[in-house]
Amino acid sequence: MSGGFAAVDVIRAKRDGGVLSDPQIDWVVDAYTRGVVADEQMSALAMAILLNGMTGPEIARWTAAMIASGERLDLSAVDRPTVDKHSTGGVGDKITLPLTPLVAACGGAVPQLSGRGLGHTGGTLDKLESIPGWRAALSNDEFIAQLRDVGAVICAAGAGLAPADRKLYALRDVTGTVEAIPLIASSIMSKKIAEGTGALVLDVKVGSGAFMKSVDRARELARTMVELGGAHGVRTVALLTDMSTPLGLTIGNAVEVTESVEVLAGGGPADVVELTLALAQEMLAAAGLPDADPEAALRDGRAMDAWRSMIRAQGGDPDAPMPTAAEVEVVRADADGFVAEVDAYAMGVAAWRLGAGRARKEDPVSVPAGVVLHKRPGDPVRTGDPLYELRADDASRIPAARDDAARAVRIAPAAPARPPLVIERIG
């Protein structure tokens, strides 16, 4: 026992469906961060929270305690309005790459602290590290200076930001407690509030490739996060967006950078462009810049200029060619018809097996590995048409990915009805 509480009493209270008091929450989050509450005790508490939930005030207090576990950045030296975006994670979700420089090109400053991929979802930092020379780690001073000079930064969160979340997220990952809405909402919002952004747009993914498989759960998560943002003075809106199929035509690291650059050059797949513009419009409105025209900034090269400045500022060479995979297997259609489905989860697992993702935090990722789709849901196909490519550094990785990729794709006699990409707006 320490500070008047015993961890086991806090665990029992939540196990029995009780409401934790503010002092209990403050104590348990702080004591866990300091190593006084052990991992096994926090695992039990996280499972009790997953099973029994938390009230709105409990989630708000838990989030405040996670923010208080570390530093809160002060971005007042940045003279443009700050606005960030957070995606709850998906397959082929490279939107941060074109979106960050696009919003900067329209007058916002985007302080994007990103993560690495784990499991079947990709990580923005892993993707950007495909660019020779680019570095993810910046000091707080470098972060703020780049935000002032370029208006766009994508980098790793420093160790001082919400350390309680860093520890708790790693624990949840290995204890089957990632999917608890109070824990996801407090994890995401503690980091975003601590980074100091003035406004925030959340891209809450729904579907097989997302943590939230149903619209109802995604809506509950979105509402919880929007309320948390408002309570901490961060203007927050959320879009619920479809993640039943991968975004765009590429899933991996270098392949996703290449596709993002196509979008910045005014091309790219229609769904990536649509979501990039929808999120840019929300971010610019939340930042108090509703008259900015992101479509024009993509067309006239301003977004590309901001991308090049952002990459160079972090040591990257925006003109360096992307590495190509040593092994490429093209998979072809075995029937005539329409692509009825490309399942996001199964394709995400295939890309992961090819080496694009990692099994353990410390594993390296392969830069050129991944999947390149030739067809998307709704496209007509004829027998023998290329459906997708599996790319890897090492031929031994391809057989393991074949089955997942084959399971992901279904061909049917008629074109399917597709859900809208942007399902709902909350805010």
Positions in the binding site for ligand URA (CB under 6 A): 88-89, 169, 178, 183-184, 187-188
CB of 178 to ligand URA, least distance (A): 6
| Catalytic residue from among 94, 120, 127, 191 | 191
Nearest to 97 by CA among 391, 379, 380, 298: 298
Give the shortest CB-187-to-ligand URA separation in angstroms: 3
* CA atoms of 414 and 416, how far apart (whole Å): 6
Decide whether 192 or 235 has the Cβ nearer to ligand URA.
Answer: 192
Catalytic residue chosen out of the listed positions 80, 172, 205, 219: 172
Q: Is 86 a catalytic residue?
A: yes
Identify which of residues 85 and 391 has a Cβ nearer to ligand URA in the complex: 85
Question: For residues 48 and 184, which CB has a smaller minimum distance to ligand URA in the complex?
Answer: 184
Instruction: Find the residue with minimal CB distance to ligand URA.
Output: 187
Q: Which residue out of 80, 86, 127, 235 is catalytically annotated?
A: 86
26 has catalytic annotation: no
Residue 164 in tokens: 């309680």
Task: Report whether 327 contacts 400 (CB < 8 A).
Answer: no
Task: Specify the residue, 227 or 293, whose C-beta has the smaller distance to ligand URA.
Answer: 227
Minimum distance from residue 183 beta carbon to ligand URA (Å): 6
- Which two structure tokens, joined as six digits, stand for 63? 């989030």
Cβ closer to ligand URA: 66 or 369? 66
* Contact indicator for 199, 287 with CB cutoff of 8 Å: yes
Q: Is 232 a catalytic residue?
A: no
Q: Which residues are catalytic?
A: 86, 165, 172, 187, 191
